[in-house]
Structure 1
């Protein structure tokens, strides 16, 4: 067991290192666009944008890096980041020996890369990280037992909003009374502020439009000091919002298919989903509404 002093020092050093990568409050999309313009103007290669643009990313990296470094400190008697560095390859081998998931290994590796500001090839002495297989994803694929614990009115309203517009927890938490709007085609949309500083006007599925208007009207009329639409208690961390977001994506795929978004150009699944295919035109429309830019993310995480 490492001493409290060593643990405190490692925690402090991790937070100091990650503070140098902190870009919260900035738009990653804008930074990418600016970097591409600089590369084009100077006729140079595009330099990949790095940094932590979301509080969740910063918190996750700090927690995962501390877990790894405390293990190293306990095993090898290290007292600070510098002393832990040489033992990172051994920690990587231990993670594999314990059969940790590819997601966990990659997250901890990238967290430590952010702390030491070096690529994983140099820090861990490996060429490639474990591959994440779609078949191994289980989280958020079905309603969990936690769904039965929350039946208050504000819980039901939060779930309905997530189902109607595919919002993440952070997007729902950031809603204000002014975030309901109608586009030029008469479609109801909800303005969402989400991770990485991204903002989007998410399409509300027509079947839910009246109920969404009712929720906004109800909470906007309630007195209170908070500028946010929903109370924080309406969004417990174990509420199955990813499942509802997936249901939204599947309905959205049918919605755009019925409105002629298909191009006839197909996206063919591989591995355990070989034989399944989706139209790329519809996938692109769904992807944009979900706040993604890649069709494969929609297929892997939502259209299951």
Structure 2
């Protein structure tokens, strides 16, 4: 009698099935963090695609070099793969993406791996810095309305694609955009409209219940516009650092310090920001941590 065998499937299929089981598209990451269930879930398609790509490169390596057939067999070579990436000169951000994708694949933390990725520094970030190939195919002059809209609202690409004109609200004497579709992690927010308010209001009202932008061109540097928005909003809200009180005392040194001042480190050492203003900017952009704003958006 033939022995019953369980069909395993290709490594790619195994990865897909494992990541599919973690998909939580449309669910609130904010709520999941509060109840402690966020760690093992994936909340956006972009994250899903990035993790799939990195995990497939890893298992391909394991199959070719170590003849692995299952994800459990591949697990032994995680550290080897991460070390290989460091030796190949991958950027700290790509190293971190590799580690995070495999941590999600195996349901653990990247800190559980034996190889530590290089420290990420703001100075080494290349996204939205300098001219890219795609920039040559996108004219900011011809797409002036889109550019101005982005700089005035700070919306992400997916949020722009889903945005309809009826999401414009007037609250506390100011216009805001209700972002509840296409948002990262499924968390709704109200983004204050700044800058070219008239243009934003006109585009939203003219769209009515329809989409404001039928197409958001891939060449548009949305992250750069979000950075511009973040910096502008921060400057409109921030207090002079010298006016913020020294309200706390360090128990170790006995020195008073400003608990509401964010002090940057590494390559931004010496730069200080108003934490209260940073928090408002963070909420407007759809983030939770002010450190993200300091490292990726604010321009000193």
Unmatched 5+ stretches in structure 2: 1-8, 246-259
Which moves more between the two structures, 163-172 or 111-120? 111-120
Tell me if the contact between 2:239 and 2:274 (Cα under 8 Å) persists in the aligned partners. no
Kindly tell me: are residues 286 and 259 of structure 1, through their superposed partners in 2, closer, same or farther at Cα, counting changes over 3 Å?
farther
Give the match for residue 201 of structure 1. 190
Find the residue that maps to 1:79 and give its secondary structure.
Answer: coil
Give the match for residue 235 of structure 1. 217
- Displacement of 1:65: 0.5
Tell me if the contact between 2:82 and 2:98 (Cα under 8 Å) persists in the aligned partners. no
Question: Deviations along 1:258-280, whole A, 9 cap, x unmatched?
Answer: 799x7453222222222221122
- 1:1-304, aligned counterparts within 5 Å? 9-33=10-34, 35=35, 49-120=39-110, 124-126=113-115, 128-142=116-130, 144-151=132-139, 155-183=143-171, 185-192=172-179, 193=181, 194-205=183-194, 207-220=195-208, 227-232=210-215, 234-236=216-218, 238-257=219-238, 263-264=244-245, 265-304=260-299
Aligned-residue CA RMSD (Å): 2.7
Moved >6 Å (runs of 4+): none
When the two structures are superposed, what TM-score results if normalisation uses the length of structure 1? 0.80
Give distance in 1, aligned partners of 2:239 and 2:261. 17
Tell me if the contact between 1:267 and 1:279 (Cα under 8 Å) persists in the aligned partners. yes
- Displacement of 1:145: 5.0
- Displacement of 1:161: 1.7
Give the match for residue 41 of structure 1. none
Give the match for residue 42 of structure 1. none
Give distance in 2, aligned partners of 1:288 and 1:91. 37
Kindly tell me: are residues 18 and 217 of structure 1, through their superposed partners in 2, closer, same or farther at Cα, counting changes over 3 Å?
same
When the two structures are superposed, what TM-score results if normalisation uses the length of structure 2? 0.81
Question: Deviations along 1:143-185, whole A, 9 cap, x unmatched?
Answer: 64533423499843322221111111011111012111111x2
Unmatched 5+ stretches in structure 1: 1-7, 36-45, 222-226
Give distance in 1, aligned partners of 2:169 and 2:124. 39
Q: Which is helix-richer, 1 or 2?
A: 1
